[in-house]
């Protein structure tokens, strides 16, 4: 089991899961429904199954590429810890479980489930033909708050869609930062990315711009939240402030000529930003 958790980098679920929970609790507050632990469990399971499928498929599809890259050669498939067929079977099982769980949520979630899988699985092909691959990854993770809200309400909502857009720009921005470390390898092997297309300096500028968009959307969504839910106090504003502070901080860690703190910028700051934001906003909704 541990090797499969490592295969899908299960700890990275922390990026989008808080936004899925935000979508769930906004759905409850919007419809004045009571807390449903079974529905929450279904939402979390959908998040986990979809992400497991996406990550495992990415590792399966990239196994030959990973075997050539010194940074990724120790990953489970090129290292021989998991056979390609095992990884593909793991993908199929998670896809099936994802669709089954959506069936027991509501009809809209079920009918949209193949589209969601198409997006999250399709990302793995994109770096072979477009530098916009980072944005496709962002779209995949942006479905978390939207899908969770649909699970509760059976319909779309403006605020979760806006939070989905915030996730799109946030994830795209930090994935560009993460891709900086593979710029030379990607260029030599005909792979596409923003750093390959623009170079390190301009890629970092674009990442800054995307995170500026993220901050603006987070703040605007906060105003809409205050208007829609009059009982809100201040915690969601503190959460927005913490999230934006971490966005700014990660850009102080990475320089075009110094990528030594990429892991800190990529995982630690973004993970803390997402968790803090999710906890504070949800507390404001339920207290």
Could you state, in order of their start, the residue ranges of all structural domains in the chain? 2-286
Report the alpha-carbon distance of residue 11 to residue 39 in Å, rounded. Answer: 23
Number of residues that make up the chain: 287
Report the alpha-carbon distance of residue 205 to residue 189 in Å, rounded. Answer: 24
- pLDDT at position 63 over 80: yes
In this prediction the pTM is 0.95
- Residues 242-281: pLDDT tens digits? 999 999 999 999 998 898 899 888 888 999 999 999 999 9
Q: What angle do CA 46, 47, 50 make, to 5 degrees?
A: 80
For CA atoms 195, 196, 200, 201, give the dihedral sign: negative
Q: Residues with Cβ < 8 Å from 8, sequence gap 6 or more?
A: 51, 52, 55, 56, 59
Say what the pLDDT of residue 267 is. 83
Say what the pLDDT of residue 265 is. 82
- Token pair for residue 166? 């915030």
Report the alpha-carbon distance of residue 254 to residue 159 in Å, rounded. Answer: 32
pLDDT band of residue 1 (cuts 50, 70, 90) is low
Return the CATH architecture of domain 2-286.
Orthogonal Bundle (1.10)
- Residues 164-203: pLDDT tens digits? 999 999 999 999 999 999 999 999 999 999 999 999 999 9
Contact (CB, 8 A) for 21 and 146: no
pLDDT band of residue 6 (cuts 50, 70, 90) is confident
Distances (CA, A) of 273 to 59, 270, 278: 26, 5, 9
pLDDT band of residue 145 (cuts 50, 70, 90) is very high
pLDDT band of residue 15 (cuts 50, 70, 90) is confident
- Residues 97-122: pLDDT tens digits? 999 999 999 999 999 999 999 999 99
């Amino acid at each position: 089991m541990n090797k499969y958790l490592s295969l899908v980098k299960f700890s990275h679920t922390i990026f989008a899961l808080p936004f899925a929970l935000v979508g769930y609790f906004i759905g409850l507050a919007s419809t004045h429904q009571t807390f449903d632990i079974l529905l929450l469990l279904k939402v979390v399971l959908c998040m986990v199954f979809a992400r497991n499928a996406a990550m495992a498929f990415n590792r399966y599809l990239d196994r030959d590429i990973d075997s050539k890259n010194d940074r990724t050669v120790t990953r489970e498939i090129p290292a021989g810890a998991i056979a390609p067929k095992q990884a593909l079977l793991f993908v199929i099982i998670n896809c099936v479980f994802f669709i089954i769980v959506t069936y027991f949520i509501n009809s809209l979630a079920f009918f949209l489930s193949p589209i969601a899988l198409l997006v999250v699985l399709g990302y793995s092909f994109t770096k072979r033909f477009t530098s916009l691959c980072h944005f496709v990854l962002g779209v995949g993770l942006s479905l978390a708050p939207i899908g969770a809200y649909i699970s509760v309400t059976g319909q779309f909502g403006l605020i979760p869609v806006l939070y989905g857009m915030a996730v799109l720009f946030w994830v795209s921005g930090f994935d560009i930062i993460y891709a900086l470390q593979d710029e030379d390898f990607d260029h030599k092997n005909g792979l596409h990315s923003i750093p390959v297309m623009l170079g390190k300096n301009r890629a970092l500028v674009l990442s800054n711009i995307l995170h500026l968009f993220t901050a603006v959307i987070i703040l605007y969504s906060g105003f809409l939240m205050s208007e829609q839910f009059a009982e809100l106090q201040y915690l969601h504003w503190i959460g927005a402030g913490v999230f934006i502070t971490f966005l700014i901080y990660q850009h102080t860690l990475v320089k075009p000529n110094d990528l030594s703190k990429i892991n800190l910028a990529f995982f630690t700051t973004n993970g803390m930003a997402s968790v803090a934001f999710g906890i504070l906003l949800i507390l404001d909704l339920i207290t």
